[in-house]
A and B are shown apart, each in its own frame.
Chain A
């Protein structure tokens, strides 16, 4: 089974025959190329074009994070599963406003369904404030089918998200307080965790898109070009509540992460190396969690669910089957 490799240390990455060699003062470590799904680089690493070519040949995406743990860029090899037919249809769906909003609405409809599922799951004693948030989100959610254009839909989405985030301190029993969601740069530990989790989600989805015919730059909810690979943002919406938010709740509620895992500098806050490692471990465990898929009649990992979501989009784009987002059924 291929897996993600995370590199935290500084050093050099080289190609050695059919392996990747990580070299630093502590020594050398070898990884067979066929074992790598994607590479995450957090440390300060040197690499040459020989190794980049090698990644390219083996269709491996490399995601790079800066000193503060913020995602900065990806090395995305040349597309290898091309379908001109499918690409034309993907663009067509974007150009047709009716078709575009249909897909965008289903994305938000699905994301908010999963958001509600989380809120209910973490509210066994029916906390009044959380109940109130749930009701308000349900009300907003009803507006989705009647939204007038992308801007309007984005407004609804924004309100749902604000309501949802206001429930985070309740879910985590006040351990991590967050007044307001602040993104660039995050100003407190909760915002930091959300930002870090969201960028991981973005990269994971991007790696999955790469293994399909979908073009990552053409999206429906987000404007193409908002980020380089904006389709990754679209699909992430569906999976953030399922994968990253649940990872965050677990980390906090089970005391795996605390103030010692953060470093504050001036007015912003970031995860230190220890913190990143704890996060990655839980995130990776989540991706590998398996559940029984009804239609497929087999066990699939959460990571595989992302691929299946890509497949559903391919079918929708090519008018084979209407897209219905993944609504957490478990």
Chain B
């Protein structure tokens, strides 16, 4: 498998990989849920109302979608909640990684929390680069697989949009 194959992942896929590999499998096989949760709605609103005056959502290679890159090549992301989990962090790290592989160096990620008016800076280091190398290979394998990873009930399941599908 060449690097370019492995690099065919979207930010959401990287995000899902860290949340739940089963969720990633459903998602990459077109099995998505109707989203009608209020959380998603609120998230969308926050997204819409931040960075009103700048361009937002830049699509690169039809693969990754950046919320915003300004002149200094900074990736801006907006998050509803304060807690930064691995999934969010690696999603941003992946954007940086992706740009780096395209020859665009020294990109930084900035996460904004409109609620608390705080921000956080994210940079890619060598260790994380290696993690992402591996993660992309795993994502590739999950996409190719005809069956999802087996089911185990975790705490986060109850809040997951696939909960009813997994446990019906």
Q: By the criterion CB–CB under 8 Å, are A311 and B30 in contact? A: no
Q: By the criterion CB–CB under 8 Å, are A296 and B165 in contact? A: no
> A318 vs B146: C-alpha distance in the bound complex, in angstroms?
8
Interface positions, chain B 21-64, Cβ under 8 Å from A, are 29-32, 34
Given known pairs A296-B163, A320-B147, the reply for A83 and B31 (CB within 8 Å) is: yes
> A27 vs B167: C-alpha distance in the bound complex, in angstroms?
47
Q: By the criterion CB–CB under 8 Å, are B31 and A86 in contact? A: yes
CB of A88 to closest CB in B, whole Å: 10
Q: By the criterion CB–CB under 8 Å, are B30 and A314 in contact? A: no
Taking the complex as formed, is A124 at the interface, i.e. its CB lies under 8 A from any CB of chain B? no
> A49 vs B61: C-alpha distance in the bound complex, in angstroms?
38
Contacts of A308 in B (CB 8 A): 164, 168
Range, interface on chain A: 20 to 34
Q: By the criterion CB–CB under 8 Å, are A83 and B30 in contact? A: yes
> A281 vs B168: C-alpha distance in the bound complex, in angstroms?
28
Given known pairs A319-B146, A319-B147, A320-B147, the reply for A311 and B164 (CB within 8 Å) is: yes
Given known pairs A319-B146, A320-B147, the reply for A296 and B32 (CB within 8 Å) is: no
Q: By the criterion CB–CB under 8 Å, are A296 and B164 in contact? A: yes
Interface positions, chain A 170-195, Cβ under 8 Å from B, are none
Contacts of B147 in A (CB 8 A): 318-320
Interface centre among B29, B30, B147, B168 (most CB of A within 10 A): B168
Residue of B nearest to A310 (CB): B168
Residue of A nearest to B167 (CB): A295
Interface positions, chain A 4-52, Cβ under 8 Å from B, are none
Q: By the criterion CB–CB under 8 Å, are A83 and B168 in contact? A: no
Contacts of A296 in B (CB 8 A): 163-164, 167-168
> A185 vs B93: C-alpha distance in the bound complex, in angstroms?
66
Contacts of A247 in B (CB 8 A): none
Among B29, B34, B164, B167, contact of A85 (Cβ-Cβ < 8 Å): B29
Q: By the criterion CB–CB under 8 Å, are B168 and A82 in contact? A: no
Q: By the criterion CB–CB under 8 Å, are A85 and B168 in contact? A: no
Given known pairs A295-B168, A307-B164, the reply for A213 and B30 (CB within 8 Å) is: yes
Interface positions, chain A 184-223, Cβ under 8 Å from B, are 211, 213
Interface positions, chain A 261-314, Cβ under 8 Å from B, are 295-296, 304, 307-309, 311-312, 314
Contacts of A139 in B (CB 8 A): none
CB of A34 to closest CB in B, whole Å: 9
Given known pairs A296-B167, A312-B168, the reply for A84 and B148 (CB within 8 Å) is: no
Residue of A nearest to B25 (CB): A320
> A84 vs B31: C-alpha distance in the bound complex, in angstroms?
9
Q: By the criterion CB–CB under 8 Å, are A82 and B31 in contact? A: no
Contact string, B85-111, partner A, CB cutoff 8 A, digits 1/0? 000000000000000000000000000
> A320 vs B162: C-alpha distance in the bound complex, in angstroms?
14
CB of A96 to closest CB in B, whole Å: 16
Q: By the criterion CB–CB under 8 Å, are B163 and A314 in contact? A: no
Taking the complex as formed, is A250 at the interface, i.e. its CB lies under 8 A from any CB of chain B? no
CB of A299 to closest CB in B, whole Å: 13
Contacts of B148 in A (CB 8 A): 320
Taking the complex as formed, is A142 at the interface, i.e. its CB lies under 8 A from any CB of chain B? no
CB of A116 to closest CB in B, whole Å: 23
Taking the complex as formed, is A81 at the interface, i.e. its CB lies under 8 A from any CB of chain B? yes
Known interface pairs A82-B30, A86-B30, A319-B147; 15 further A-B residue pairs with C-beta atoms within 8 A, sorted by A's residue number: A83-B29, A84-B30, A85-B30, A86-B31, A211-B34, A213-B31, A296-B168, A304-B164, A308-B168, A314-B31, A315-B168, A318-B29, A318-B147, A319-B146, A320-B148
Q: 3 closest A-B pairs (Cβ-Cβ)? A: A83-B30, A308-B168, A85-B29
Interface positions of B (Cβ within 8 A of A): 29-32, 34, 146-148, 163-165, 167-168
Between-chain CB contacts (< 8 Å), 20 pairs: A81-B34, A82-B30, A83-B30, A83-B31, A83-B32, A85-B30, A211-B34, A213-B30, A213-B31, A213-B32, A296-B164, A304-B164, A309-B168, A311-B164, A311-B165, A314-B31, A314-B165, A315-B165, A318-B29, A319-B147
